[in-house]
């Protein structure tokens, strides 16, 4: 009897070990992507082409939506996603907080797809008028740098305004209530506020910021699965090129995903940058300037080296060798 029980116990342990191995393998063969309510990843998700490509490599795709870049990179930092897209600023804050991330690729500049907005009947007519006023934004998001640069251009210090940090949905509510004087925001929230609330654009990014979108991965995932990352970037680029040539189709496809009317979605689609490329030295230099600016403002605790967190695609490594 004791022998039978022992054998049953061993069988149970064996089954558990096999099950754990299968589960671990399944997790290892899943690419977890974080995306936001805008950008090429939304189009890639809708198109379904990535799933088909990665299925050839035995990899499944899992998508998770985030309200903003800082929240997405927190997900990446704690290991709930492997890859995601944000604006320029969130990676700087994430790197400063110790996130083990790598810049993989970036989209071309889209400076008009973020802006400082004021209510339609606001007496504020210039960035200079923001002195002493309450300005709401998502802390550490791409628009954080837009605000810094716009204030600098207007001859104001960052400390000359009162910053209120809220995620987009809460920020819009505060903006509509009139409890803040201005809102720094990106598309499609920007386009929605312009058309639904008749919000006025005080200053967009044209001439002062690039507003690049960056694709980032955890360092362990990028190093262990370089071919998956390369395939992913190639698919992002292909969808971006298709989007440039088919803005109306993109609008019809994305509007229901965003839960927005086509006229608002079309504005966002037209202001977006398309055509992801692997990181260039020029992009590194621009991102380093942002990191240095935030360190000087004491918004991050230490100086950063952007060059230390750039991923090199396998093809580039092979070419160098």
Tokens, residue 104: 């993989």
Q: What is the pLDDT of residue 253?
A: 87
Architecture of domain 27-108+212-320: 3-Layer(aba) Sandwich (3.40)
The pLDDT tens digits for 146-174 are 999 999 999 999 999 999 999 999 999 99
Q: CATH assignment of 111-204, given 3.40.190.10, 3.40.50.150, 3.40.1390.30, 3.40.50.12780? A: 3.40.190.10
pLDDT exceeds 70 at position 4 = no
pLDDT exceeds 90 at position 39 = no
27-108+212-320 against 111-204: fold identical:
yes
The pTM assigned to this predicted structure is 0.83
Q: How far is the C-alpha of 218 from the C-alpha of 81, rounded, in Å? A: 8
Mean pLDDT in the chain?
89
Q: How far is the C-alpha of 95 from the C-alpha of 97, rounded, in Å? A: 5
Q: What is the pLDDT of residue 37?
A: 78
Quick one: average pLDDT of 105-116? 96
With a CB cutoff of 8 Å and minimum separation 6, the contacts of 98 are 77
Domain boundaries, the chain: 27-108+212-320, 111-204
């Amino acid at each position: 009897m004791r022998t039978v029980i022992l054998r049953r116990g061993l069988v149970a342990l064996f089954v558990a070990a096999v099950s754990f191995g299968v589960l671990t393998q399944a997790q290892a063969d899943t690419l977890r992507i974080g995306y936001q309510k805008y950008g090429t990843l939304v189009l890639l998700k809708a198109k379904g082409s990535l799933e088909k490509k990665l299925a050839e490599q035995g990899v499944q795709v899992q998508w998770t939506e985030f309200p903003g870049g800082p929240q997405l990179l927190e997900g990446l930092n704690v290991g709930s996603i492997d890859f995601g897209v944000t604006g320029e600023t969130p990676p700087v804050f994430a790197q400063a907080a110790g996130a083990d991330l790598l810049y993989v690729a970036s989209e071309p500049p889209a400076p008009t797809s973020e802006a400082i907005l004021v209510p339609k009947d606001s007496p504020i007519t210039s960035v200079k008028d923001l002195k002493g006023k309450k300005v709401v934004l998502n802390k550490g998001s791409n628009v954080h740098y837009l605000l810094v640069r716009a204030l600098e251009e207007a001859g104001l210090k960052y400390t000359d305004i009162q910053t209120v940090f809220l995620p987009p949905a809460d920020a819009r509510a505060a903006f509509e209530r009139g409890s803040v004087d201005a809102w720094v925001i990106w598309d499609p929230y920007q386009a929605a506020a312009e058309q639904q609330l008749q919000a006025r654009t005080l200053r967009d990014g044209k001439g002062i910021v690039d507003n690049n979108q960056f694709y980032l991965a955890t360092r362990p995932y990028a190093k262990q699965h370089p071919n998956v990352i390369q395939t992913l970037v190639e698919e992002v680029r292909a969808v971006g090129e298709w989007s440039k040539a088919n803005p109306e189709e993109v609008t019809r496809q994305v509007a229901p995903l965003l839960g927005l009317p086509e006229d608002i979605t079309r504005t966002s689609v037209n202001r977006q940058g398309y055509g992801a490329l692997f990181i260039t030295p020029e992009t590194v230099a621009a991102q380093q300037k942002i990191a240095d600016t935030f360190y000087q403002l004491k918004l991050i605790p230490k100086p950063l080296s952007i060059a230390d967190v750039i991923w090199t695609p396998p093809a580039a490594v092979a070419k160098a060798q």
